């Protein structure tokens, strides 16, 4: 702690002096530009690495992230289903510092002053920046479902929608459930993080039940009018692989939970009781973005200029990943956050080097979903920035979903995970 | 020796040894030459290629032993022929036909040239 404080104080008082030592040798007088990245998920870690990479290490990057290792949300459903372990989805942050020279600080940013261009850390230190990238992910709007905050705090009704200790806690609930019991997942209205995620979770839990608790049931209670991603492929998998074990019910918008009876109440439909109740709360941009006044889309998501992901509410503040108000057809996914990060990194490097920002950036997305231990289905898309519309549009004729579920795509999903983790962190 | 701390980890770790610090500075000077750092086309090509990296590795250096191919160092002619074959459907695929149809022939050629020029990591 002492060391961290010393370093941060040095940044405020003497950071410029330290950098000037390098800068004078490098032939510039202004010193290295400083980018502060808040959040070390798929967006934050990727933007940190790629600013270093694309600037040929000429821009300094500090990344602030409270967790000391990266636990992946993608693939975490397989930990809940018992097919993978936490170790399988956990990677260190050390590659960002040792290979790319990112200063990784394990702390929390508590406040941002966008006028002074400073951020305050939980320890009380202040960091100044030339550019700020916020990758705060999501937080939850607990009050949208009455009783959920308390039921969750008590450890009874979990979401496990941020990979970490709660992932294993939900796994333990499933292991403790009697054969013949019911697991119910409650899905909020879109937009939410990872559109196909709830359906994948239901599928891999059904795969677990089929082997270990064959009299049990998986109930999908969806706040949406239909499956929001890869619907026909998921429905076919449920019918083919699990028969009556999986039941899908659309138009189930939750309004309250009762922790005493493990019951969920809906706006229109009747109450449902389950042995394991997995309720995904309504989501919004991470609280730091909301608190900083950046959530200017219904006080929920952050509008950005899609050319460089700069907030429309604050200059030199960029917002990426799940926290943004997305363009049409753009999912809130880890792959997409990684894509946002690369467009942002290239734009920040261009701006800080005084060259024109690419007027035609592109992003891709691939979401792979397991429907059992080995078989996977995907949805893919390619998006281009359209200057006249000032937003991203999916490119006509591109993208699509799997023809059929396959174990070949299962092997690709394994490789996707290994490669995106390396691309994000190593 | 007391040296003010710096924003990035490489510079901070270099504080431990004056020689290492000097080496880091020299490397930084060599790497961050204006020609490399301020070439708009090079930046755009690298950014374009980064969209392949989630599946095929940063700059084409895919994780070895997995099912997705490492693009770094593959022959340029081979890369462009395969990308175009995916696009027409001549080469069957699970996903690459859907991805390649989002790119122009010029972009696919630019990507082929870029990945062919990357030296495969050992």
Cα distances from A224 to residues A117, A248, A362, in angstroms, run 40, 11, 29
Of A103, A356, A411, the CB nearest to B67: A411
Q: Where does A250-349 show beta strands of DSSP type E?
A: 254-258, 263-266, 272-273, 276-279, 283-285, 304-305, 310-311, 317-319
Contact A11 B5 (CB under 8 A): yes
Q: In terms of CA atoms, which chain B residue is nearest residue A18?
A: B4
Q: Give chain B positions within 8 Å (CB) of A368.
A: none
Residue A18 is nearest to which of B6, B40, B43, comparing CB atoms?
Answer: B6
Q: What is the mean pLDDT of each run of 10 residues along chain A (426 residues)?
A: 39 33 32 95 98 97 98 98 98 98 98 98 95 98 98 97 98 98 98 98 98 98 98 98 98 97 97 98 98 97 98 98 97 98 98 95 98 98 97 97 98 98 98
Inter-chain touch A422–B8, beta carbons under 8 Å: no
Q: Are A199 and A379 in contact (CB under 8 A)?
A: no
* Structure token digits, residue A276: 């394991």
Across the interface, whether the CB atoms of A415 and B66 are under 8 A apart is answered yes
Supply the ipTM of this predicted assembly.
0.90
Q: How many CA atoms lie within 13 A of B56 on its CB side?
A: 17
Most A-contacting residue of B9, B25, B105 (CB-CB within 10 A), to test interface = B9
Considering only the beta carbons, identify the residue of B5, B48, B102 that sits closest to A399. Answer: B102
The shortest C-alpha distance from B108 to chain A (Å) reads: 13
Under the banding of pLDDT at 50, 70 and 90, the label for residue B39 is: confident
pTM: 0.89
Distance from CA of B76 to the nearest CA of A (A): 22
Inter-chain CB pairs, A–B, below 8 Å: 201
pLDDT reported for residue B8: 54
Do A397 and A418 meet the contact criterion of CB atoms below 8 Å apart? Answer: no
CB spacing of B31 vs A350 below 8 angstroms = no
Distance CA(A306)–CA(A289), nearest Å, equals 17
Omega before residue A415 within 30° of 0, cis: no
Question: A415 and B4: CB-CB below 8 Å?
Answer: no
Per-residue pLDDT band at B37 (split at 50, 70, 90): low
**Nearest beta carbon to residue A57 from set B13, B31, B99:** B31
At B122 the pLDDT is 74
């Amino acid at each position: 702690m002492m060391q961290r404080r010393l370093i941060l104080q040095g940044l405020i008082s003497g950071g410029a002096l330290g950098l000037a030592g390098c800068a004078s040798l490098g032939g510039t007088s202004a010193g290295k530009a400083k980018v502060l990245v808040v959040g070390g998920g798929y967006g934050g870690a990727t933007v940190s690495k790629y600013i270093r990479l694309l600037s040929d290490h000429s821009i300094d990057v500090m990344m602030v992230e409270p967790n000391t290792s990266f636990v992946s949300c993608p693939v975490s459903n397989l930990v809940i289903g018992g097919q993978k372990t936490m170790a399988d989805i956990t990677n260190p942050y050390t590659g960002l510092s040792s290979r790319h020279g990112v200063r990784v600080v394990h702390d929390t940013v508590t406040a941002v002053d966008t006028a002074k261009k400073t951020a305050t850390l939980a320890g009380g230190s202040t960091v100044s920046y030339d550019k700020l990238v916020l990758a705060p992910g999501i937080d939850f709007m607990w009050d949208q479902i009455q009783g959920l905050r308390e039921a969750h705090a008590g450890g009874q009704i979990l979401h496990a929608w941020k990979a970490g200790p709660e992932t294993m806690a939900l796994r333990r609930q499933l292991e403790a459930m009697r054969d013949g019991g019911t697991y119910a997942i409650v899905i909020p209205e879109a937009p939410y993080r990872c559109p196909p995620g709830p359906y994948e979770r239901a599928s891999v839990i059904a795969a677990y039940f089929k082997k270990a608790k064959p009299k049990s049931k998986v109930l999908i209670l969806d706040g949406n009018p239909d499956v929001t991603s890869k619907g026909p492929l998921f429905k076919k998998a449920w019918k083919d692989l699990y028969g009556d074990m999986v039941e899908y019910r659309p138009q189930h918008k939750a309004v309250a939970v009762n922790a005493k009876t493990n019951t969920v109440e809906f706006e229109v439909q009747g109450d449902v009781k389950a042995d394991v109740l997995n309720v995904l709360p309504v989501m919004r941009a991470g609280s730091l973005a909301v608190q900083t006044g950046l959530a200017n889309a219904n006080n929920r998501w952050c509008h950005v200029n899609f050319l460089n992901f700069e907030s429309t509410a604050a200059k030199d503040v960029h917002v990426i990943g799940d926290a943004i108000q997305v363009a049409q057809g753009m999912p809130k996914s880890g792959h997409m956050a990684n894509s946002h990060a690369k467009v942002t990194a290239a734009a920040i490097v261009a701006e800080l080097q005084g060259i024109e920002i690419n007027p035609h950036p592109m992003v891709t997305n691939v979401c792979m979903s397991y429907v059992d231990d080995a078989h996977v289905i995907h949805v893919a898309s390619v998006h281009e920035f359209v200057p006249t519309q000032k937003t991203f549009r999916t490119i006509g004729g591109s993208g699509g979903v799997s023809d059929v579920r396959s174990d070949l795509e299962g092997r690709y999903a394994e490789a996707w995970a290994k490669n995106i983790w390396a691309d994000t962190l190593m | 020796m007391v040296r003010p701390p710096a924003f990035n980890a490489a510079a901070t770790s270099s504080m431990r040894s004056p020689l290492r610090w000097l080496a880091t500075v020299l490397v930084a000077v060599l790497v961050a030459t204006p020609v490399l750092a301020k070439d708009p086309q090079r930046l755009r090509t690298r950014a374009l290629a980064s969209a392949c990296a989630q599946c095929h590795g940063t700059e084409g250096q895919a994780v070895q032993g997995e099912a997705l191919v490492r693009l770094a160092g593959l022959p340029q002619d081979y890369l462009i022929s395969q990308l175009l074959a995916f696009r027409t459907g001549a080469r069957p695929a699970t996903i690459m036909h859907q991805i390649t149809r989002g790119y122009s022939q010029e972009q696919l050629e630019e990507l082929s040239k870029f990945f062919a020029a990357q030296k495969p990591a050992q």
